[in-house]
Chains A and B, each alone.
Chain A
Amino acid sequence: MKCWTRRKFGCFAGATCLAALVPRVARSQVAARVVVIGGGVGGATVAKYLAASATMIEVTLIEPKLRYTTCFFSNLYLAGLRSLESLTHGYETLAQRYGVNVVHDSVTAIDPVGKTVALEGGAKLPYDRVVLAPGIAFKYGTIEGYDETATQAMPHAWTAGPQTKLLRQQLESMEDGGVFVLVAPPDPFRCPPGPYERASLIAYYFKQYKPRAKILILDAKDSFFEQDVFQDGWNRHYPGMIEWLPGQFTGGIQAIDVKGRLLKTAGDTFKADVANVIPAQEAGQLAQEAGLADQSGWCPIDPMTFESKLQPGIHVIGDAAKAGNMAKSAFASNSQAKVCAFAILAALTGSERFAPHLFNTCFTFLASDDAVTSVISYRAEPETIRINDIFISKVGENAETRRKAVREADGWYAAFTHDVFG
């Protein structure tokens, strides 16, 4: 059995060509420093793939939380099909096996001129490259009466953890016959099928425990991703339980009276027993403060490297990035993180660059034994990212195909979180 230290492994990789190392020595003696900000899927993936490059790159990952709960699959927790613990992952493996320097702190500022990242704890970290993976921020104020305080009464549950727990508690406490209102956000937002999967899986829970309950979706949009597949699933599994009202029908949600549990649209006012309000979104706060977002609220990037078009030396990946036609999803973030990691390695070490491959795959649950898939490959062009090829599950697929997707989804979650955190 071989037992190598990190240093020995690095030596092994280059041992056959010591003489050839000479022109590179000056460069390799000084480790390049990459600071990754944000320990979600994008940040953890880029940190892992960079740190696995052994001694030449020193990788620091800044994340305030000790553990990360995945937003993907959290609707299964709301349905009672998974524990929150099974969706929660630590950073120990990144630190211990890959040598990532994990710092649990918050970033207060990025100085792109001095090339430093300032932390709340007082430290100032110098960098050669920064990768920012800040996720989303909610645009409070777009719905009158719904601010951060209101999330404690009407959770968004669109970042997983305490908010998801709160929503589950409220659903458990709701009387049979109650009305659950879900406010679905305008495009673009994290996880396009997510709100509708949530409605499906909460209906799955209601069907067993509160069969007289109703679900009302007040949408800002007039259509949504995989709409026909969802509506077919709702008719088959939960007939009469879920009602979807498009923006053109209601005029959109205008204001919320949190105390009265009233949701006001341009026309009608709806009373909720439990309300889940998913607000409009934009790139995470730090991206806004660091001048990385444009007027759209998202961060323009070079599709080949994910380097910011507004601040050289800073890369933006994941939900915050303005990545052409790429969906905002964990899978897409993971895919972008690898392209970004290989581009940074090429820039810092001179290694060869290859054509980037970008993908997104989603497993979406309609019920415990009924899941659908979507898979997209993308083409990175100089100015944008376009869909190259796409498959989306169709209405009328047989039950075994859907059961197989459930089994694949479970396997995918295990493999994917291993790729990110393990």
Chain B
Amino acid sequence: MTTRCFRDESASNIRQIIVLSISASLVIFVANRSAVADNDRGAQLAATCASCHRLDGRDKGIPSIIGLDEETFIRAMQAFKSGERPSQIMRVMSRSLSNEEIATLAHYLSTLRMETKRP
């Protein structure tokens, strides 16, 4: 039998995104309902970020957004929204998210950790 080793955070992050999505309905019976739904929602929102930002902590050309404290992330997104921090791409992205979605995303991304060396 082949044993696969999910040692790198990239694989486990993406796996976490989806596993949390599908396990929401199962966990719901024993966990706090809103916490699970928030994590699930955070994971799906984070998937949209992954089109540009690597979620394994690598940041060539485009900055990493994982592992930040929630307040820093929320402040940055609000600054993009208002135009105080100039980036046309991030302005459009941030304006498409509600404040509630930004808070959910901030919490989710803060829990992701930088990738260790790949096997």
Q: Which residues of A contact B (CB under 8 A)?
A: 1-6, 9-10, 13-14, 16-17, 19-21, 24, 48-50, 52-54, 56-57, 96-99, 331, 334-335, 338, 341-342, 345, 349-352, 354, 357, 359, 361, 373, 375-377, 388-391, 393, 407-412, 414-416, 418-419, 422
Q: How far is the CA of A126 from the CA of B96 in the complex (A)?
A: 39
- How many Å from the CB of B52 to the closest CB on chain A? 6
Q: Are A345 and B48 in contact (CB under 8 A)?
A: no
| B19, A52: Cβ atoms closer than 8 Å | yes
B11 on interface, CB distance cutoff 8 Å = yes
- A345–B45 touching, CB < 8 Å: no
Please list 15 pairs of residues, one from A and one from B, whose beta carbons are closer than 8 Å in the complex, sorted by A's number.
A16-B30, A48-B14, A53-B21, A54-B18, A54-B19, A98-B15, A338-B48, A350-B25, A351-B23, A354-B44, A357-B48, A375-B88, A377-B92, A411-B59, A415-B60
Would B51 and A10 count as touching, CB distance under 8 A?
no
Q: Does B22 contact A56, Cβ atoms closer than 8 Å? A: yes
Report Cα–Cα, A369/B88, bound state, in Å.
Answer: 19
Which residues from 61 to 96 on chain B have a C-beta closer than 8 Å to any C-beta of chain A? 61-62, 88-89, 91-93, 95-96
| Min CB–CB distance B83 → chain A (angstroms) | 11
Among the listed B30, B40, B88, which residue makes an inter-chain contact with A391, where contact means beta carbons less than 8 Å apart?
Answer: B88
| B51 in complex: contacting residue of A349, A389, A419, CB < 8 Å | A419
Is there an interface contact between A351 and B61, defined as CB atoms closer than 8 Å? no
Q: Which residue of the partner chain, among B23, B41, B59, B93, contacts A375 with CB atoms under 8 Å?
A: B93
Number of A-B contacts (CB under 8 A): 171
Tally of B interface residues using CB under 8 Å:
50
Mostly, the A contact residues are: helix
Interface of B is mostly: helix
Across-interface contacts of A345 in B (CB, < 8 A): 18, 21-22
Chain A nearest CB: distance from B65 CB in Å? 11
B24 x A411 contact (CB < 8 A): no
Residues of B within 8 A of A (CB): 3-7, 10-11, 14-15, 17-31, 37, 40-41, 44-45, 47-48, 50-54, 56, 58-62, 88-89, 91-93, 95-97
Chain B residue with Cβ nearest A24: B26
The 7 closest A-B pairs by CB, nearest first: A411-B61, A20-B29, A377-B96, A411-B62, A391-B88, A53-B18, A52-B18
**Residues on A with beta carbons closer than 8 Å to the beta carbon of B19:** 9-10, 13, 52-54
Q: Which residues of B contact A50 (CB under 8 A)?
A: 18
- In the bound complex, what is the Cα–Cα distance between A4 and B50 (angstroms)? 24
Say whether A412 contacts B26, CB under 8 Å: no
Is the beta-carbon distance between A331 and B51 smaller than 8 angstroms? yes
Is B52 a contact partner of A351 (Cβ separation < 8 A)?
A: no
Per the bound structure, the CA–CA distance linking A352 and B56 in Å amounts to 26
B14–A411 CB distance below 8 A: no
**Contact partners of A4 in chain B: CB under 8 A:** 4-6
Quote the shortest CB–CB distance from A5 to chain B (angstroms).
Answer: 5
Across the interface, which residues of A come within 8 angstroms of B14, CB to CB? 48-49, 52, 98
A351 is contacted by which of B21, B31, B91 (Cβ under 8 Å)? B21
Establish whether residues B11 and A13, one from each chain, have CB atoms under 8 Å apart when the complex forms: no
Cβ contacts under 8 Å, B58 to chain A: 414-415
A59 to chain B, nearest CB (A): 11
Rounded to whole angstroms, the CA-CA distance of A359 and B3 in the bound complex is: 37
What 12 new A-B contacts, CB under 8 Å, besides A54-B19, A414-B54? A17-B31, A19-B29, A57-B22, A99-B4, A351-B40, A352-B24, A376-B92, A407-B61, A412-B62, A415-B61, A419-B50, A419-B54
